[in-house]
Amino acid sequence: MKFLSRLLATGGLVGYIPFAPGTFGSIVGVVAYWLIPASDSVYFLPLVLLFFILGSLAATQVEKLSQIKDNQIIVIDEIIGVWVSLAFFPKELKWLAIGLIIFRLFDIIKLYPA
């Protein structure tokens, strides 16, 4: 169970990349969004909610195991965040790239009250 939590929370272990794990996690989110057939259907919201719940539980467990608050290896929040952001764009490569850039900019600058 610990390995599955770590696998989910780190975006398939992408969170262990030593530089820019959030950016790489967001890229995983974009690729997953592109590959998920349900991303443009009524099944997308339940899928996002499922990953939000499971990802929150996994991230909590990984944070407890690592004893590091807001551990950078946890990128499930970037993955789910980019899914929600991309839901408002057409499912075309150009728009996915624009959505990724906008998401990363807002995630990096951390607007108040974040």
Q: Which amino acid is at 83?
A: W
CA 104/CA 35 separation, integer angstroms: 20
Longest alpha-carbon distance in the chain: 40
Q: Which amino acid is at 10?
A: T
CA 16/CA 14 separation, integer angstroms: 5
Q: Where are the alpha helices (DSSP H) in 42-110?
A: 44-66, 76-86, 93-109
State pLDDT tens for residues 2-37.
999 999 999 999 999 999 999 999 999 999 999 988
> For residues 28 and 11, is the Cβ–Cβ distance under 8 A?
yes
Mean pLDDT of the chain, nearest integer: 93
State pLDDT tens for residues 31-83.
999 998 877 788 889 999 999 999 999 999 999 999 998 899 999 999 999 99
pTM over 0.85: yes
Q: Report the pLDDT value the prediction gives residue 114, as an integer from 0 to 100.
A: 63
